Chain A
């Protein structure tokens, strides 16, 4: 069976573009779940990462927590939290909340590690020079450390986003829908067109996010990478 042909045929069917099981709705659902998860992960990981990077306190703890987060399979994370979230809300507590929690667990480590590593790697002389000129700790962080570390921080956001978009498909196993719905249904119904349409949509969304954030990262690192290039040129 020609998979591309099957997927294309599936896409051509107007029935697949309508309703709660249609492409636009599930795409919006997928994007929404990913955005909410990333936003929560940022809200947790960014302040902690900035604090650890700036003060250099608690680095070991952060690495260990991040590693634990990485070691938990997302499917397991969903299964673990389901009983608890169901106590709050039997419906959303079965599919939506567990998926979001698992995605946050997935997204926190890369954002946290990149944030604190990016900040901690900022040249100490630069930081001391900023402090010596009379910047407050907050000003040092805001106008020196964060701008210089920003490409690294965005790098963490980028890998977190791609992982979340790809992994959020798991929620479909618990009946969440989103783009994973096409894959789960495709497998169950032996409908290769539906299955690969889902795979294609997830892959396209992940690549789009990856490309977009890579572009942001490249733009941000303009003057800093130019500095590195010039330093390298001078050294040679």
Chain B
């Protein structure tokens, strides 16, 4: 398994002369210039290049595998300048996925996935085994899919094959140019989740181009926001870009709802959850009532033997004597998996018109409570922290 390698841009500039621009235009391309781009993507991280069209994000990507040569500056992979490497060998060591996937229509899925391993001269059996392994990795049964042609696949399936093909030679670096641009939003969401899940196992260094800020925030460990003219407007983790945009351009680009977007980056189990008063049916009611009254949130949460929530008992409904029974439970809060984002949690609370949601673990047992107030507090506190760490450089709008 090849380890991931860092990717470093050092003052990379690409300008098009008149002759070159004309030639590119004749070939149906309208490449954007890039101006003094410098950033570092640590090994194993996803860096998303995002910006409006014409900002040079695709040009930047193509300079990594030298489909476009920079005018000046260097790009280093694992510390080595790509310009010093044999261009063919370099490209074979980098996974490449483009928007329309670029699957070869005259080859089967299996042959497509074997492209790079064939170029590298692997023996047919080894190529085949690797292709099967990769198709399984992306969730396509090789016995069903390997002999099909790309035209027989759905858009999402084609995209998966594209990812499998890019991974064939186990490259340390993956370049993805709007890989999910051509599929519908539901499929895109699923493919994004699959890629993140894959990345948990593979830990490749991924450079990912998109024009969709939401996709950038979701996919990126780091986000490079680019603006027209090929300038790097901000390079930071998504949370920081949302909490503290470096310029008005970035603030406008991430959108007026960046507060909400930030909520989508944090999961409920990252908050200091409130501990509810819990009791199980069969326990002494008087004792449970005493504990509930002592709590600032005077409701009793009934849970079963596995600590899975059964429902709330209002303070007034808790019997003063005898044992608790399941029938006492009157209301139930939304149950939130611990990995629910704050944004989704807030949406569920608003929809259910309640103050608190019950956070559960993978087995469904209660971990704690989350309230709308806690979410607002978190939002305010982290935004202040981000501004403080940056210093009082600018007034934040919105």
Residues of A with Cβ closer than 8 Å to B?
A: 56, 123-126, 128-136, 139, 144, 147-148, 223-224, 226-231, 234
Given the contacts A126-B102, A126-B104, A148-B105, A132 and B65 also touching, CB distance less than 8 Å: yes
| Cβ of B254 under 8 Å from chain A | no
Residues of A within 8 A of B107 (CB): 223
CB nearest neighbor in A for B89: A134
**Are A230 and B100 in contact, CB atoms less than 8 angstroms apart?**
no
In the complex the two chains form, is B149's CB within 8 Å of A131's CB? no
Specify which chain A residues have a CB less than 8 angstroms from the CB of B152 in the assembled complex: 226, 230
Considering the chains assembled together, what is the distance between the CA atoms of A169 and B119 in angstroms? 49
| Cβ-defined contact, A230 with B27, below 8 A | no
Cβ contact of B67, chosen from A126, A132, A227, A228, cutoff 8 A = A132
Known interface pairs A133-B92, A134-B119, A148-B105; A124-B28 also in contact (CB < 8 Å): yes
Interface residues of B (CB under 8 A from A): 26-29, 62, 65, 67, 88-94, 96, 98-102, 104-107, 115-116, 119, 149-152, 155, 165, 175
Give the docked Cα–Cα distance between A169 and B82 (Å).
61
When chains A and B are docked, how far (Å) is the Cα of A223 from the Cα of B104? 10
Give the residues in chain B near A229, CB-CB below 8 Å: 151
Output the nearest chain A residue to B108 by Cβ-Cβ distance.
Answer: A223
Q: Interface of chain A, helix or strand or loop or mixed?
A: helix
Q: Are A128 and B119 in contact (CB under 8 A)?
A: no
CB <8 Å contact, A134 and B88: yes
The docked-state distance in angstroms from the alpha carbon of A129 to that of B90 is 14
B98's partner among A125, A134, A139, A234 (CB-CB below 8 A) is A125
Contacts of B27 in A (CB 8 A): 56, 124
Quick one: given A125-B100, A129-B96, are A136 and B88 in contact (CB under 8 Å)?
Answer: yes
Our pick among B26, B28, B119, B149 for the contact of A226 (Cβ within 8 Å) is B149
| B221 → A minimal CB distance (Å) | 23
Report the bound CA distance from A139 to B104 in whole Å: 13
CA distance A147 to B149 in the complex (A): 14
Complex contacts, A227 vs chain B, CB 8 Å: 105, 149-151
Chain B residues contacting A224 (CB-CB under 8 Å) are 105-106
Q: Tell me whether A223 and B98 are in contact (CB under 8 A).
A: no
Residues in B with CB closer than 8 Å to A124 are 27-29
Residues A132 and B96 in contact in the complex (CB < 8 Å), given A226-B151, A229-B151, A231-B151: yes
Known contacts being A125-B100, A133-B116, is A56 close to B26, with CB within 8 Å? yes
Question: What are some 30 contacts across the A-B interface (CB < 8 A)?
Answer: A56-B27, A123-B100, A124-B29, A125-B100, A126-B102, A126-B104, A126-B105, A128-B67, A129-B96, A129-B98, A132-B62, A132-B65, A132-B67, A132-B91, A132-B96, A133-B91, A133-B116, A133-B119, A134-B89, A134-B91, A135-B88, A135-B119, A139-B119, A148-B104, A223-B107, A224-B106, A226-B151, A227-B150, A229-B151, A230-B152
A-B contact count (CB 8 A): 77
Give complex CA distance A56, B28 in Å: 11
Q: For B165, what are the chain A residues with a Cβ–Cβ distance below 8 Å? A: 133
Cα–Cα, bound, A111→B96 (Å): 35
Chain A nearest CB, measured from B1 CB (Å): 20
CA distance A94 to B57 in the complex (A): 65
Name which residue of chain A comes closest to B66, CB basis. Answer: A132
Chain B residues contacting A56 (CB-CB under 8 Å) are 26-27
Contacts A132-B67, A133-B119, A148-B105 given; indicate if A125 touches B151 (C-beta within 8 A): no
- 5 tightest A-B CB contacts, nearest first: A129-B102, A134-B92, A227-B151, A134-B91, A230-B151
Cβ of A125: which chain B residues have Cβ within 8 Å of it?
A: 98-100, 102
Q: B100: which A residues are within 8 A, CB to CB? A: 123, 125
CB distance from B177 to the nearest CB of A (A): 9
CA distance A129 to B98 in the complex (A): 7
In the assembled complex, the Cα of A148 lies from the Cα of B105 at a distance in Å of 8
Nearest Cβ distance between residue A150 and chain B, in whole angstroms?
8
Partner of B96, one of A133, A223, A226: A133
Name the residue on A nearest B91 (C-beta).
Answer: A134
Q: How far is the CB of A232 from chain B (nearest CB, A)?
A: 10
CA distance A123 to B155 in the complex (A): 17
Look across to chain A and name the residue whose beta carbon is closest to the beta carbon of B29: A124
B104 & A144 in contact (Cβ 8 Å cutoff): yes
Give the complex CA separation of A37 and B88 in angstroms.
Answer: 39
Chain A residues, Cβ within 8 Å of B92? 133-134
**Least Cβ distance of B169 to chain A in Å?**
9
Q: A223 touching B65 by the CB < 8 A rule?
A: no
Contacts of B106 in A (CB 8 A): 147-148, 223-224
- Are A134 and B116 CB-contacts (below 8 A) given A124-B27, A227-B151? yes
Q: Chain A residues near B62 (CB, 8 Å)?
A: 132
CB of A128 within 8 A of CB of B102, answer yes
CB distance from A152 to the nearest CB of B (A): 13
Closest to A226 in B: B151
